[in-house]
């Protein structure tokens, strides 16, 4: 039906069509989608296995031995260390002077631009080679060159989400506590897990759309922060920050629309991930929209009111 079966043998995994062919019995509990059938109980099993992240028969075995991809435990530990770093880092910085970190920030942001550009290029290459379809783009679980490049692009995307946590550490060391908001922490933590689960289970297919879109937005975002780190003589030309936030909001709207279309289209791509992308996209859209409203709409009105009063 909607979920891909995998083999755990040492041989190369078979094509999705081959795996399902003549292996699923016809009975009243089976669902028919296109020419494939799959027992309803498999959907529940898939969900449980994705949550537990320890069942190789449902996982992308091509990345099993890749760094941090065998199971979710290292990612959980990274998240825990991240949370503790925020809590105890802020406590430690109470009696410390804020660090300048200007040179470090510039180098860090430039490296982010470079690696985000690489992920965008690799994802776009897969998009082009596979003739990406917005309606239905199943994951290619074979060992074809393009399929492996899709895996690599998703893996690098996950690594970048780990690197993104450095943003918060910089805020802590510079005592920019006002920037360590719920939106900021929620976004970084959730993207860390989304990227891991994406690489583990659906490296390629419809996931490539998010990889391209998000990585491209991050190129612009880190370019902005890199220029901002150069000092006030450059910062005065960075008038386009609000448009960067608008681009991020448009990105989440695109993800919501894309996931909604995929949910309504019969496709050999796990609907669990479409639902997850949709729900997450809606949650982050609400948070970013509220941020935009508070920081650009309301503040703009308050400044205008103050100016009128002074006049």
Q: What is the pTM assigned to this prediction?
A: 0.78
Confidence at residue 220, expressed as pLDDT on a 0 to 100 scale: 95
Give the separation between CA 67 and CA 177, rounded to whole angstroms. Answer: 33
Long-range contacts formed by 105-108: CB under 8 A, 24+ apart: 105/170, 105/225, 105/226, 105/229, 106/226, 106/229, 106/230, 108/166, 108/170
What are the tokens at 51? 């949550």
Closest among 282, 32, 279, 274 to 134, alpha carbons compared: 274
Query: Which neighbouring-strand residues pair with 186?
Result: none
Catalytic residue among 184, 187, 218, 233: 187
Q: How many CB atoms lie within 10 A of CB 22?
A: 6
Residue 285 pLDDT greater than 60, yes or no: yes
Taking CA atoms, 181 is separated from 56, 80, 149, 173, 185, in Å, by: 37, 17, 35, 15, 6
Residue 73 — pLDDT band, cuts 50, 70, 90? Answer: very high
pLDDT tens for residues 205-254? 888 999 999 999 999 999 999 999 888 888 778 888 889 999 999 999 99
188 is catalytic: no
Q: Any idea what the Cα angle at residue 137 is, between residues 15 and 257, rounded to 5°?
A: 155
Cα-to-chain-centroid distance, residue 42:
26
Give the separation between CA 277 and CA 69, rounded to whole angstroms. Answer: 20
Q: How many CB atoms lie within 10 A of CB 103?
A: 9
What lies within 8 Å, CB to CB, of 297 at 6+ separation is: none
Query: Which neighbouring-strand residues pair with 38?
Result: 31
Residue 301 — pLDDT band, cuts 50, 70, 90? Answer: low
Q: Any idea what the Cα angle at residue 282 is, between residues 276 and 284, rounded to 5°?
A: 100
Residue 302 — pLDDT band, cuts 50, 70, 90? Answer: low
Confidence at residue 239, expressed as pLDDT on a 0 to 100 scale: 83
pLDDT tens for residues 7-20? 334 444 444 334 33
10 Å CB burial of residue 40 (0-12, 13-18, 19+) is exposed
Of 220 and 3, the one with more pLDDT: 220
Residue 52 pLDDT greater than 80, yes or no: no
């Amino acid at each position: 039906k909607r979920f891909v079966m995998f083999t755990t043998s040492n041989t190369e995994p078979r094509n999705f069509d081959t795996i399902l062919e003549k292996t699923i019995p016809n009975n009243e509990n089976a669902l028919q989608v296109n020419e494939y059938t799959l027992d309803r109980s498999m959907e529940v099993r898939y969900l449980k296995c994705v949550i537990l992240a320890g069942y190789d028969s449902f996982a992308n075995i091509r990345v099993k031995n890749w760094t941090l991809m065998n199971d979710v435990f290292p990612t959980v530990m990274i998240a825990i260390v991240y949370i503790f770093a925020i809590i105890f880092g802020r406590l430690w910085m109470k009696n410390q002077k804020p660090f300048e970190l200007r040179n470090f920030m510039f180098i860090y942001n430039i490296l982010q631009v470079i690696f985000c550009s690489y992920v965008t290029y690799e994802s776009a290459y897969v998009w082009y080679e596979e003739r990406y379809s917005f309606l239905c783009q199943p994951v290619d679980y074979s060992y074809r060159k393009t399929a492996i490049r899709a895996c690599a692009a998703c893996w690098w995307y996950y690594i970048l989400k780990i690197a993104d946590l450095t943003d918060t550490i910089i805020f802590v060391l510079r005592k920019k506590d006002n920037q360590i908001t719920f939106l900021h922490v929620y976004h970084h933590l959730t993207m860390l897990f989304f990227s891991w689960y994406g690489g583990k289970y659906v490296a390629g297919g419809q996931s490539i759309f998010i990889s391209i879109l998000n990585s491209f937005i991050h190129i612009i975002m880190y370019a902005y922060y890199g220029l901002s780190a150069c000092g006030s003589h450059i910062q005065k030309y960075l008038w386009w920050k609000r448009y960067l936030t608008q681009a991020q909001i448009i990105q989440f709207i695109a993800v919501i629309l894309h996931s909604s279309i995929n949910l309504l289209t019969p496709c050999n791509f796990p609907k669990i991930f479409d639902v997850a992308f949709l729900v997450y996209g809606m949650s982050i859209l609400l948070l970013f929209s509220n941020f935009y409203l508070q920081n650009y709409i309301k503040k703009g009105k308050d400044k205008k009111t103050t100016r009128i009063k002074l006049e």
